[in-house]
Amino acid sequence: MPFHIVFDSFIAGILASLACGLGVFPLIFPKLKMEKRTGLGYGVAGGLMFSASVYNLLLPGLNTSGSHLTFFDVAPIIIGIGLGAAFIWYAHTKMSTDVTSLSGKMKSGKRAQLLIFIAMAIHSIPEGIAVGVGYASGEVFNTDFGSYIALAIGIHNIPEGLAVAIPMRANGASINKCFWAAVLTSVPQPLAAIPASWASWFFQPLMPVLMGFAAGAMIYLVILELIPVALEQESPSKTAWFFTIGFCAMLLVQVVI
C-alpha cells in the first residue's frame, strides 16, 4: 500500500478526532446551567449514545453484508454486541470493587463519566478502521471514498463529543477539560486507521464484530449508568423527553450527511 494512503488516512483520523471536541461548544453558554441540570444532561447524553449505536454502528454493520441478510451475516454483529456489553459489565464490576476497597464507593456520576470515556474510545476504533479501509479502497477504485468516510465520521463526532462533555460539565469540569476529554476519546481513530489502510484485506471482514462490540458497550452503558443517574435527578417523564431529544439530534446528523 502506498505510503501517502497511510499518511492521508492518519491525518483524516486526527481531523475527525478534533471534530469530536467541537461538540463541547454548546456548553460554553452559561444559560444552559448544566451544573443544575445533571439529570437532563445524562438523559440527552444517553439518547445521543443510543442513537449513535444504532445508526452509526449497527445499521452500517448490517449493510456491509449486502441487502439479503442471513443468520451468518447477523451473527458476527450479535456476538460483538454481547462481547461489548460483557466488557462494560466487567469494567463496571471491577471498577466498583476496586474503588470500594480503596477509598469508599465511587460516586455514580464520576463512575459514569469514566465508563462513558471508555465506551466512546472503544466506539472510535471501528470508525478509525473504516477510515483506513476507505482510503485503501479509494486507491484501488480511484475514488474519494476515504475522504467521504472521514468527513461523515467527523460530523458524527460532534454530537458524540457533546455526549462525553455533558456529564463532565454537569459535575463541574471546565470547558477546556471537557474539550480535551472529548478529543481523547477519538484518539483511537487515527491510530486504528494506520494498520487498517495498510492491511485493509485483514480488517474489513472484522468490521461487523467490531461495530457490534462498540454498539453493545454503549447501549449497555446507557441502560446501566446514564438512565439510572438521570432518574435520580429528574422525573421519569423529563428523562424520557431529553433522551428522545438526544436520540433525535443524532438522527438529524444522519440527514445532514
DSSP 201-237: HHHGGGHHHHHHHHHHHHHHHIIIIIHHHHHHHS-HH
Sequential pLDDT tens for the chain (257 residues): 567 788 888 998 898 888 888 888 888 877 666 556 678 878 888 898 898 888 878 888 887 666 677 888 899 999 999 999 999 898 888 776 544 443 444 455 567 778 888 888 888 888 888 888 878 776 655 566 677 778 878 877 888 888 888 888 877 788 899 999 999 998 999 998 888 888 877 887 888 888 889 899 989 989 988 898 889 888 999 999 999 998 998 888 777 76
CA distance 67 to 46: 30
pLDDT at position 99 is 44
For the record, the C-alpha cell of 133 comes out as 479501509
CB atoms within 10 A of CB 143: 12
